[in-house]
């Protein structure tokens, strides 16, 4: 059975600026974000990881490198959602521009595109699910660290837990928090920790 340690990356300047939507913008961690990744490394000390994967964006890759102390494999399927017209804006800013895009997304992100021109929730779930299915083909058991992003992590977990995708925001993932779940041979996800600190 695979045990997945799923992390959200450490803090970025966009996170600190009223949670500005970062999406595909490739910005680094803040000093606080670097310290958060170091803290995760201390929390996970003693856990042997058979492999470490991250989004190709530097905020996730840097977090994974610091937190694991191991070589990190970048995987494009773990990149953050394409937020379309919301990219680089706060919720307040893009709501003022076009409130209907947000209302449609919240009503059913599976079929609506983030920011009007970005990805749909169904597209996001499909690529992230494909990543985890490939892990099951490669590894029959062991601990695997995966460092990705708030949007895709929550949408994937909502899908695997049988929740409507519109409820994905009810799952919380703070910067550099640890979520842990197992995937059995049938692909069933069992959530053990959510948004946690281990020590």
Q: Is residue 185 part of a domain?
A: yes
Model pLDDT for residues 142-161, shown as the tens digit of each residue? 999 999 999 999 999 999 99
Q: Is residue 115 part of a domain?
A: no
pTM of the model: 0.96
Percent of the chain with pLDDT over 90: 96
pLDDT at 199 over 70: no
Q: Is residue 168 part of a domain?
A: yes
Model pLDDT for residues 97-143, shown as the tens digit of each residue? 999 999 999 999 999 999 999 999 999 999 999 999 999 999 989 99
Any idea which residues carry the catalytic annotation? Answer: 9, 80
Distance CA 30, CA 26 (A): 13
SS3 (DSSP) at 104: helix
Q: Is residue 100 part of a domain?
A: no
Q: Is residue 173 part of a domain?
A: yes
52 vs 197, higher pLDDT: 52
pLDDT of res. 198:
77
Sheet containing 49-54: which strands, arranged edge to edge? 73-74, 49-54, 142-148, 2-8, 178-183, 189-196
Task: Choose among 173, 134, 130, 167: nearest CA to 153.
Answer: 173
Q: Is residue 88 part of a domain?
A: no
Percent of the chain with pLDDT over 70: 99
**Residue carrying structure tokens 């009007």:** 116
User: What's 71's domain CATH number?
Assistant: 3.40.50.1240
Q: What is the domain extent for residue 182?
A: 2-18+29-80+122-196
Question: How many independent structural domains does the chain possess?
Answer: 1
Model pLDDT for residues 47-98, shown as the tens digit of each residue? 999 999 999 999 999 999 999 999 999 999 999 999 999 999 999 999 999 9
Here the contacts of 157-163 (C-beta below 8 Å, separation 24 or greater) are 157/6, 157/181, 157/189, 157/191, 159/125, 159/129, 160/129, 160/189, 161/189, 161/191
| The pairing of beta strand 142-148 with beta strand 49-54 | parallel
18 — pLDDT class (breaks 50, 70, 90): confident
């Amino acid at each position: 059975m695979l045990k997945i340690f799923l992390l959200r990356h450490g803090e970025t300047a966009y996170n600190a600026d009223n949670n500005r939507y970062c999406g595909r913008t490739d910005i680094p961690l803040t000093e606080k974000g670097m310290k958060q990744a170091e803290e995760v490394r201390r929390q996970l000390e003693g856990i042997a990881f058979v492999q470490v994967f991250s989004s190709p964006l530097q905020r996730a890759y840097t977090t994974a490198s610091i937190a694991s102390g191991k070589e990190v494999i970048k995987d494009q399927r773990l990149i953050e959602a394409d937020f379309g017209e919301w990219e680089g804006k706060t919720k307040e800013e893009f709501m003022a521009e076009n409130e209907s895009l947000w209302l449609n997304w919240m009503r059913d992100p599976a079929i609506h595109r983030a920011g009007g021109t970005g990805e749909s929730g169904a597209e996001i779930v499909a690529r992230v699910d494909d990543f985890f299915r490939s892990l099951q083909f490669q590894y029959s058991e062991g601990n695997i660290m995966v460092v990705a992003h708030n949007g895709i992590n929550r949408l994937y977990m909502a899908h695997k837990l049988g929740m409507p995708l519109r409820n994905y925001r009810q799952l919380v993932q703070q910067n550099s928090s640890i979520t842990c779940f197992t995937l059995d041979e049938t692909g069933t996800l069992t959530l053990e920790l959510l948004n946690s600190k281990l020590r």
